[in-house]
Amino acid sequence: MNRKIIYLVFSLFVITACSDLDLNPLSEGSSENWYSNETEIQMALNDIYRSAFWPLDGEDWTDNWTKRNGTTPITDGTINSEWGTSKDRWGLSYKAIARANTILGSLERAANAVPEAKLKQFEAAAKFVRAAHYGYLVTHFGDVVFFTKVLDLEESFTLGRTDKNTIMEAVYADFDFAIENLPESYSNSENKLATKGAAMAYKARIALYMGDYQLARDAAKACMDLDVYELYPDFDELFLSSTKNSSEEILGFPRSTELGSSLGTANYISRTAGGWGQSDPSWDLLCAFLCTDGLPIDESPLYDPHNPFNNRDPRCAGTIVEFGTPHLGFIYQPHPDSLQVLNLKTGNYQYNHDTRTNKFYASFNGLLWKKGVDEDWSDDKKAENTKILMRYADVLLMYAEAKIELNEIDQTVLDAINKVRARAYKVDVGAVSDYPAVTTISQDELRKQLRIERRMEFAWEGTRYMDIIRWRIAENVLTKDIYGLVDEAKDKLVDANLWFFPATPEIDEDGAPDFTPMYNDGLVKLLAVRDFDASRQYLWPIPAKEILINENLTQNPGY
């Protein structure tokens, strides 16, 4: 293809792609006389601290999720270089990086109008964004294009991929500058960008993803030592739309229906409450929560497969709607015999849309999300829950994980894990008789406990995907098929006294349950076949269009 034509195509793409995000043209900082004062710089920074630039990894890319009998390109192994998600995430990150570079390259224009300390703070805020996005690119794509200045179009076509280790040196340097120059907090009158704690926490996260455990340990410990954050006392309340600016939140974005940034909820809420109940927690996730004795379900004498919510870690019922409990103004009950359900607002029984006896498209596995869900989800199918990107529980568990991997196991490791677990039980960490405190000092066993704890704590928060990628267990957990309720549940389960689960599945070393014996007996239904190609899928493909327009770019293996 003629190079001029390629330039034209590329330019049109940039113009078109930018139009989706450019809510304020001035925030691009494209004017030659822009960035001359504090207001203009602040506006430009606000632009790259919009939620649109900070997507979460998909829960539907993991074994925590089912959507009826559907899969995603990640969970069915069909990712290729035309995959829209890799193209979108690549483009978003490079837009944010380019705008951060523009700000950083223009700050000197305001040197006479803005105090030096404030300029340093602005510089730190922009470097935080650049570091976070390069960290995202490296952890998902591997070696990527790297630049730290404003590029013209001709120059952009000369860049190939830079070794990820070189990039990470610059990422850590940017985080360190941010840590040194960002404030610990902002006043109510200030625009809330990244803080010192956010830079520490993000450095810890990306270092952990990269296996740089000493850096992860030190950054997480520094964040803990700030003594700015603490665990919110109630796990269930933390995620509700009514909880704002909690003591646990390190970085997040508010949602607003009025401003068009609310969370669409129809796919997640029950059919009786007016939703679709089609995007649900998986049985894999339900089986992952420990029992109250701290043992997995296939080892604990407390577990009853016919009452799967009994005697479980409180986060189980805090994450997944427990059968027979109030939910969005009704008693939620998927039982095949529950043709009527209690309306808590009227006190009357009404037609139950959440049992598949009545409605075929009710939740295919009987489960619904509870975490963060409140009655404001069902009035207009929109919710204003804060989009939490980083919270203190993650810092504690990142610290513990880094220390475990370094085999520096001491009381601080146990304390970090147990603080998170004790909060779930609403008890003090020292009340070890009131919750199953972690006490082992075995590296292998602690590693297993830490991974279980992360899954119980962070379900539906966008962290599971990178956890299974960096732990290299995706080739196991994402090749286990997705199961749900048999269509003949009344005959095969209820009448045989086998509801809800007909048996207890075995749980393997990666926390994956085995439902194949139940499937072979015809007692559960195969909803979808998962697949994961370990030879290529631990990295994403470089988008095909990028390689088309830049002959210096190479593709990741297998794509």
Question: Please, are residues 438 and 421 in contact by the beta-carbon 8 Å criterion?
Answer: yes
Q: According to the model, what pLDDT value does residue 190 have? A: 74
E-state strands within 271-357: 279-281, 325-327, 330-332, 340-343, 348-351
| Residue 431 identity | A
Tokens of 171: 């990422």
Q: Quick one: tokens of 404?
A: 């475990």
Q: What pLDDT is recorded for position 242?
A: 95
pTM of the model: 0.94
Pairing status of strand 263-264 against strand 325-327: unpaired
432 part of a folded domain: no
247 falls within a domain: no
How far apart CA 298 and CA 29 sit, in angstroms, is 58
Assess if residue 203 is contained within a domain: no
Structure tokens of 327? 């939910």
With vertex at residue 72, the alpha carbon angle to CA 328 and CA 289, rounded to the nearest 5 degrees, is 50
* Radius of gyration of the chain measured on its C-alpha atoms: 25
What token pair was written down for 42?
A: 């602040």
Furthest C-alpha separation in the chain: 81
Cβ atoms of residues 355 and 335 within 8 Å: yes
Decide the pairing of beta strands 348-351 and 340-343. antiparallel
Predicted pLDDT of residue 360? 96
Structure tokens at 409: 């196991």
Q: Tell me which residue range forms the domain holding 116.
A: 3-194+539-549
* Nearest partner of 363 among 271, 452, 298, 289, judged by Cα: 271
C-alpha torsion 543→547→553→556, nearest 10:
40
Report the C-alpha gap between 540 and 527 in whole angstroms: 26
Half-sphere exposure of 10 (CA within 13 A, CB side): 19
Q: Is 490 domain-assigned?
A: no
d(CA 313, CA 421): 9
What CATH number is attached to the domain comprising 109? Answer: 1.25.40.390
118 belongs to a structural domain:
yes
DSSP-assigned beta bridge partners for residue 327 = 330
Q: Report the pLDDT value the prediction gives residue 36, as an integer from 0 to 100.
A: 93
The answer as to whether 438 is a domain residue is no
pLDDT score for 27: 43
Length of the chain, please?
Answer: 559
Is residue 364 reached through a cis peptide bond, with omega within 30 degrees of 0 on the bond before it?
A: no
How many structural domains compose the chain? 1
Give dist(CA 240, CA 234) in Å, integer. Answer: 11
At residue 156, the pLDDT reads: 87
Contacts of 273 (CB under 8 A, 6+ apart): 327, 328, 329, 330, 378
What the block records as the tokens of 48 is 């790259």
Cβ 186 vs Cβ 250: under 8 Å: no
Instruction: Answer positive or negative: Cα dihedral of 368, 373, 374, 380.
Output: negative
Per-residue pLDDT of the chain (559 residues; tens, 9 = 90+): 333 333 333 333 333 333 343 433 344 445 567 899 999 999 999 999 999 999 999 999 999 999 999 999 999 999 999 999 999 999 999 999 999 999 999 999 999 999 999 999 999 999 999 999 999 999 999 999 999 999 988 888 899 999 999 999 999 999 999 999 999 999 886 777 999 999 999 999 999 999 999 999 999 999 999 999 999 999 999 999 999 999 999 999 999 888 888 899 999 999 999 999 999 999 999 999 999 999 999 999 999 999 999 999 999 999 999 999 999 999 999 999 999 999 999 999 999 999 999 999 999 999 999 999 999 999 899 999 999 999 999 999 999 999 999 999 999 999 999 999 999 999 999 999 999 999 999 999 999 999 999 999 999 999 999 999 999 999 999 999 999 999 999 999 999 999 999 999 999 999 999 999 999 999 999 999 999 999 999 999 999 999 999 999 999 999 9
Q: Is residue 392 situated within a structural domain?
A: no
Contact of 27 with 11, CB cutoff 8 Å: no
Within-domain flag for 114: yes
